[in-house]
Chain A
């Protein structure tokens, strides 16, 4: 009958009107400046510099001022000046650090190439999106103090990626410690028995490359490794 469609339409809008007050599936608004949605982990925008400690960001920068990112950056928005002195890095090795590290965010295109090329996991992608400023020049050029953010922040924005990076860095640090220990032991052995030069030469290969050796031994027979494990 004429008008039945009108009543159906009115029922639809009435359901929406009432549902918007009690049904979260109908009313999905987030009132933005006060409430923010959780960004997806894969979201990325503008790089930042990772520091080990939040209390001493400039002292614990992972960046060693190798300038690879500066050279690789397609729009050339990174500017680095190396330091004159050295200090220990994340793995305990003495390294240079950036005296000046600037990123011009008006030029940066968030391509992540700096992150891909960094061998020290020192630069990572941030999740900032409220980047409006009142000035066109100074405020858009970020210095190292503004770029430095602690590792805990990295964990809060990209948890899985940060855990993987931390695991890798810990393994590297452990390997470096073992290597140092082995080198010290070798040195001590060499000092104890300086006459046998051949023994010292044969002791060094296993300490430098410990990983390729264990799979090389049981490669002759395949079913052998599971049996001792079981």
Chain B
């Protein structure tokens, strides 16, 4: 974290000021170390708590969508008040901690133990480069976006590790299938953010957020999502993020109603909870990166709303995206593995490549006359919309719309 600019409002500087007040009396070499440790502790604490309450919010929202109340029974200990079941995540945590941890006799004990730990560690690593607010980025890296996706891709290793170490052929098959899915969607995920790097001209997350500063006509923010290529990139990114974080409708790796948890079959107790924690951390990190790349990072959408501190804007956008994930889970049924990979390779990857070319057209047209400035909107929108419609028609010909004769 770099020092706060003195011009900002007090609330904006409060987190950094508070940290400096705590570590200010330490000698210089110690200060950076303690500052880093505080950042790590804060990320673990905040995202750990967020994970706990997102699981509750998810169950509540899913319940409401299905016209039932969701978990509302867990009381607060000692005072015995329910408060809508707010203590449910802690009850779940205690439950998974006290459950028996079963390791299969023939399993590779070291790898079996290491897989959830590695998965969680790689998930947490990705939190390091996300700018959570003005001057609030744990690690300032020049190639932060590259680092983020490198750390994110390493989680696939842990998934296969889990399947392999269980010494269960179904776990192994499921892990291979999970790997097929994750690698398939890695490509559109990576291709979808390349346009942002092209336009911003940098791989640093703080610089990408800075590139989205300001408002057109005073009320349209310069966020990347408000351009044709940015909107397409955002949608592709979110679809690929759904698949990367094993979320419905792409949750084939551990489809609970069809498989016995896939590569997690041989995991129980707290290790199983760690896998879930890593999944939610991955979802949170990808949402945070989507905000940074496309939704203007921690910037407020309108000029007069700037009095609200930047970290609250980031948090609000994060919760909105998480709600989107939950909404999608509540709506769509699961895809088959062949539909899933076909969707990635035949639809998302070509579209992402076209979008890359689209961005080049956009940036080339930006340097010319005012007429060209205006003309690039319909041109770029057409460049991405026409392939979307044509590809969609072609891929779904003979398959969709499906007629359910016996339903």
Contact = CB atoms under 8 A, between A and B. Distances in A.
Interface of A: 1-3, 5-6, 9-10, 12-14, 16-17, 20-21, 26-29, 31
7 contacts: A2-B391, A9-B332, A10-B331, A17-B64, A20-B65, A20-B67, A29-B68
Nearest to B332: A9
A91 to B, nearest CB: 52
B69 A3 contact: no
B393 A2 contact: yes
Contacts of A12: 331
A1 B389 contact: yes
Interface in B376-393: 388-389, 391-393
B327 A13 contact: yes
Contact of A13 (B68, B331, B392, B393): B331
Contacts of A9: 331-332
Given A17-B327, A29-B67, A29-B69, 18 more contacts: A1-B392, A2-B388, A2-B395, A2-B396, A9-B331, A9-B332, A10-B327, A10-B328, A14-B327, A16-B64, A16-B65, A16-B67, A17-B61, A17-B64, A17-B65, A20-B64, A27-B67, A31-B69
Contacts, number: 44
A1 B401 CA distance: 10
Interface in B342-393: 388-389, 391-393
A29 B332 CA distance: 24
B107 interface: no
Nearest to B249: A6
Nearest to B401: A5
Contacts of B67: 16, 20, 26-29
Interface residues of B, number: 20
Contacts of B389: 1-2
A2 B392 contact: yes
Contacts of B331: 6, 9-10, 12-13
Contacts of B401: 5
B32 interface: no
Contacts of A2: 388-389, 391-393, 395-396
Nearest to B68: A29
B49 interface: no
Interface in B317-357: 327-328, 330-332
Nearest to B347: A2
Interface of B: 61, 64-69, 327-328, 330-332, 388-389, 391-393, 395-396, 401
Residue from B61, B64, B389, B391 with most neighbouring chain A CB atoms (10 Å): B64
Nearest to A25: B67
B330 A13 contact: yes
A5 B69 CA distance: 27
A178 B116 CA distance: 89
A3 B400 CA distance: 11
A14 B64 CA distance: 10
Contacts of A27: 67
Given A5-B401, A6-B332, A9-B331, A16 B392 contact: no
Contacts of A3: 392
A165 B255 CA distance: 59
Contacts of B392: 1-3
A21 B63 CA distance: 12
B362 to A, nearest CB: 23
Nearest to B390: A2
A10 B389 CA distance: 20
In the A-B complex, the 8 residue pairs with the smallest Cβ-Cβ separation, listed nearest first, are: A2-B392, A20-B64, A13-B331, A9-B331, A13-B65, A17-B65, A16-B65, A13-B330
Nearest to A2: B392
Residue from B327, B391, B395 with most neighbouring chain A CB atoms (10 Å): B327
A220 B395 CA distance: 91
B239 to A, nearest CB: 10
Contacts of A10: 327-328, 331
A17 B328 CA distance: 12
B212 to A, nearest CB: 26
Residue from B67, B69, B389, B392 with most neighbouring chain A CB atoms (10 Å): B67
A208 B328 CA distance: 81
B331 to A, nearest CB: 4
A5 B400 CA distance: 11
Nearest to A6: B332
B78 to A, nearest CB: 21
A21 to B, nearest CB: 7
A114 B331 CA distance: 53
Contacts of B69: 29, 31
A6 B69 CA distance: 25
B388 to A, nearest CB: 7
A47 to B, nearest CB: 35
A27 B68 CA distance: 7
A2 B68 CA distance: 31
A148 B68 CA distance: 39
A29 B68 CA distance: 6
A17 to B, nearest CB: 5
Nearest to B402: A5
A70 B269 CA distance: 55
Contacts of B388: 2
A59 B391 CA distance: 86
A220 B179 CA distance: 99
A26 B68 CA distance: 9
